[in-house]
Amino acid sequence: MKNISLPGPRGLAFNCVSKALESGMDAQAILDSALSSNDLAQRDRGFITEILYGYLRMRIRLQHVLGCFLSRPEGLPAPVLQVLGIASYEILHMDVPAYASVDWGVDSVKRLTKGKLGGLANAVLRKVARLADDGVDIEFFRRNIHNEMKSLAAYYACPQWIVELWIDSYGRETAIKYLEAQICPPAAGFAIDTSDDAGQDAAATLLMEKEFIASDGEGFAFRSGVRPEALRGLSEKVLTRQSYSARVALSILEPSSWPTPVWDGCSGRGGKSRYLMHNEISPVLASDPNIGRLSALKKEFPKISAFRGSAINPPLAHESIGTALLDVPCSGLGVLSRRPDTKFKRSLEDTDSLVLLQSKILANGWKTIRKGGFLAYITCTLNPAENNGQIADFLKKNKDAKLKKEWTTSPESQLKEFFYSALLEKI
C-alpha cells in the first residue's frame, strides 16, 4: 500500500502512530518532531498527543475489540487496522461524538484503499459505537476469550508475557494495580530551580496552592493535563520536566551522605546530575555514550565534568571515585504509562540480555569505587531479575559489598510510574 497522507490533526496523529510502530523511534521524539514542524493550535496539539499516547496504551485492547467484528483482521493492511484502532479509541475512550470518529475512520479507510473497504469500516465502527454504550469491561473479554491470562492481557492492553511475569513475581492483587497504572496517563513531573528568584516565587506559590500530587519543594508532580499558572513564563533553565518517581528513587538513597566525587555513569541529558548539583553535591562527573545527550548536558551544566564513555567499560581509574550512580539500561516495564510503545519493542528474551548487561555495568562500576564508597543502582522497571534479584546476585559475588538501602515505588502510587533503587557500600 502506497503512503497516503491523511488530512488534519487526526492525519498527523495517524502518521505519528505509524512511525512509532514501524520505525522503532521513540514515540516522544516522533511527537516532538510532528508538533514542531506544523503550525498547530494548542487544542490540536493536545488532541494529537492524546491520540498517540492513548492509542499506544490501549492498542492491544482495541485490537481484541476489533477482532470481535472482523473475520480476518490479519488480512487487512496495517494502515487500515491503525485507522480503525484510532477511531475506536476515540469512540471508547475520548469525549468525542461517535459519529465524528466513525465518519473520519470511514473516510480515511476509503482514502487508503481507493474506496474498496469503506463499507467494511462503516459496519465495524458502528458496532464499536454500539458497544461503547454498554461499556467495555473485563467481563466482555472473559466472555469472548476463554483463557484468564489472555483476557487480562486484552483488557489491560498489555502483552501476555508481562501479565504473567507480574502475577508470578508480585501476586495477582499487586499485579492488577501495576496493570491498571500502565493504561493511565502518568503524573506530569517538573523540577524548579529555586536558586532563581522567579523559580523560588513559583515554587512558593505552588506549595501554597496545593494542586500537586506530591512535592519536595523543588520537584512537583501534577495530575496529567494539569499545568498550573505559576509555571507559565518560567525559562527552560529554571523549569525542566522530570519524572517525580525518578526523583524520589534518587532522593531516597540520601545523596547528601555520599562520598565524592560522584560519577553519574549513565547520565543521559543530566537529570540526575542536575539534582545533585542543585543539592550542592560536588564534584560530579557525568558520562554517556551519546554525543547529543552529552552536548546538551555540557551546555546546561558547564561545571559538571562530562565526557563520552560507556558504563560497561568506564574510563576511570580503579578506586578513584566516592560514589557511582548507575541508572542502568533496563526493560522499562515500570514506566509503560509514559512510554507505552515499549510494550511493542520488548520481549521476555530482551530482559535476559539486559540482566547480563546490568551485571557487567555493576561489576565494572564497582571497581571504580574506593573503600568506604557507595554504589547507587536505579532502574525504571518491574522485573525482579533486574531489580532485587540483580542486587542479591551481586552481593553473593562481592563479599566487600554491603546493602545499605533498598526501595521500590509503592504499587499504590498515584504517579503511575514505578522505580527501583538500592545503595551499596564498599566495605
Structural domains in the chain plus CATH codes: 8-157 (1.10.940.10), 188-241 (no CATH), 244-426 (3.40.50.150)
Determine whether 241 is exposed, middle or buried from the number of CB atoms within 10 Å of its CB (0-12, 13-18, 19+). exposed
How far is residue 229's CA from residue 262's CA, in Å, rounded to a whole number? 36
How far is residue 423's CA from residue 208's CA, in Å, rounded to a whole number? 34
Sheet strands (E) in 140-224: 188-192, 214-215, 219-222
How far is residue 56's CA from residue 341's CA, in Å, rounded to a whole number? 6
Long-range contacts from 209-213, C-beta under 8 angstroms, 24+ separation: 213/187, 213/244, 213/414, 213/415
CB atoms within 10 A of CB 377: 24
Predicted pLDDT of residue 270: 83
Predicted pLDDT of residue 302: 78
How far is residue 66's CA from residue 72's CA, in Å, rounded to a whole number? 10
| Contact predicate 258/272, CB 8 Å | no
Predicted pLDDT of residue 223: 95
Q: Determine the 3-state secondary structure of 70 from DSSP.
A: coil
Which positions ≥6 away from 116 have C-beta within 8 Å?
none
How far is residue 380's CA from residue 270's CA, in Å, rounded to a whole number? 16
Helix (H) or strand (E) holding 126: helix 118-134
| Contact predicate 324/310, CB 8 Å | no
Q: Determine the 3-state secondary structure of 397 from DSSP.
A: helix
Sheet strands (E) in 115-269: 188-192, 214-215, 219-222, 239-241, 262-264
| Contact predicate 224/415, CB 8 Å | no
Could you tell me the three cell numbers for 206? 505552588
Predicted pLDDT of residue 2: 59
How far is residue 371's CA from residue 393's CA, in Å, rounded to a whole number? 20
How far is residue 114's CA from residue 158's CA, in Å, rounded to a whole number? 34
Predicted pLDDT of residue 252: 97
* Average pLDDT, consecutive stretches of 10 residues, N- to C-terminus, the chain (427 residues): 79 95 91 90 94 97 95 92 97 95 97 94 96 88 93 98 98 98 96 94 95 96 92 91 95 97 90 89 90 77 84 94 97 97 93 97 97 98 98 98 98 97 98
In the DSSP assignment, the letter for residue 74 is G
Which positions ≥6 away from 66 have C-beta within 8 Å?
73, 81, 84, 85, 88, 124, 128
Sheet strands (E) in 346-399: 369-379
Task: Report the predicted TM-score, pTM, of the whole model to 2 decimal places.
Answer: 0.94
